[in-house]
Chains A and B, each alone.
Chain A
Amino acid sequence: NAGVTQTPKFQVLKTGQSMTLQCAQDMNHEYMSWYRQDPGMGLRLIHYSVGAGITDQGEVPNGYNVSRSTTEDFPLRLLSAAPSQTSVYFCASRAGSYLGDEKLFFGSGTQLSVL
């Protein structure tokens, strides 16, 4: 199994541009999420999904959109990129949404720079 696959690995944008970060998992996981990782701030939850057609906001959702049309895919869209969105983005999934002891499987990350 490939696990959680993120593309691209690196991206440079200009302020105001839009783009989509792709995330796919092949483990039939119910729960998928997007985090951003910033120095000294750890990982912060942007959006998450508990199943196809169901999404919800996390801690820092502003400036980002998500959709979940299939179980496998959970793309993250930046509508109008801003320098404050320069970060490393991680997609993560786990089998269930409610059980507490299940581990998250992380993708390899996307390093995004907004100039």
Chain B
Amino acid sequence: AQKITQTQPGMFVQEKEAVTLDCTYDTSDQSYGLFWYKQPSSGEMIFLIYQGSYDEQNATEGRYSLNFQKARKSANLVISASQLGDSAMYFCAMREGGSQGNLIFGKGTKLSVKP
């Protein structure tokens, strides 16, 4: 079974609008971390935001926020006020507490921001 599922292969959003990228996860660990990374066309992996399984508040970092619904095992990324530079692949990832630190990635969502 997939540990990280991103069901949207591609998304379009109008510049200045908000967009939600979906991510669901599967783990039996009580302690885990959820991450979002951005990969522009140049290829590098850029860390965006982190949510811990015990965090009660949703994480926010500037225009990025993570809509964490633990009971539903979802960790959706919300980007507010989209900019043209937000066009990229976005990967959801999980680190389980019982692992040696490695990240498990989803297949990614390609976001295209339209002017």
Is B a genuine binding partner of A?
no
Interface residue ranges, B against A (CB under 8 Å): none
B-binding residues in A (CB < 8 A): none
